[in-house]
Amino acid sequence: MNAQAKTIAVVDDDAAVCDSTRYLLEAYGFDVRTYLSGTAFLTESPDVLCVIVDYQMPDLDGLGFLSELRQRGRDVPAIMITATNDPKVERQAAELQISQVLKKPLFAPALLRAIRSELETDHRQ
């Protein structure tokens, strides 16, 4: 596994969310790369351990990003974060094999539990 494969990616159009999430995760020993859009992540296509993605982003929302990621054969564990409380979003996320949908504002313990849960799950089904 290369060094990037030990990295968590944060994809959110809000730079403050990217920065605060990066600082939090780095404090817990994770390597973190941030992307201000799903398109930026897909263009670079880094090898990462897990992706944390915001649902509501311009151009390509979180579900569209995850759908494209899956179409490219990338079954990387992913956690969606959202400010919306819409069961439809959670159902659509589940269809993309995203079991972790967290509400904003993020709470550190919940995010860390979600990451640990995703990393313990075998996504190669």
Provide the CATH number for the domain around residue 83.
Answer: 3.40.50.2300
pLDDT band, residue 1 (cuts 50/70/90): very low
| The total number of structural domains that make up the chain | 1
Each residue of 70-89: pLDDT tens digit? Answer: 999 998 999 999 988 888 98
For residue 124, tell me if it sits in a domain. Answer: no
Q: Domain containing 40: what range? A: 3-115
Peptide bond into 105 cis (omega under 30): yes
pLDDT greater than 50 at residue 33:
yes
Nearest CA to 51 among 39, 33, 36? 33
Q: Which of 100-104, 111-115, 120-124 has the lowest mean pLDDT?
A: 120-124
Structure tokens at 40: 């930026």
For residue 122, tell me if it sits in a domain. Answer: no
Mean pLDDT (the chain, rounded): 90
For residue 75, tell me if it sits in a domain. Answer: yes
**pTM summary value:** 0.90
Amino acid at 107: F
Torsion of CA 63, 68, 73, 77, to 10 degrees: -30
Each residue of 88-101: pLDDT tens digit? Answer: 988 999 998 888 99
pLDDT greater than 70 at residue 62:
yes
Percentage, residues of the chain above pLDDT 90: 73
For residue 123, tell me if it sits in a domain. Answer: no
Structure tokens at 59: 């151009």
Based on C-alpha coordinates, what's the Rg of the chain? Answer: 13
Q: What is the pLDDT of residue 99?
A: 83
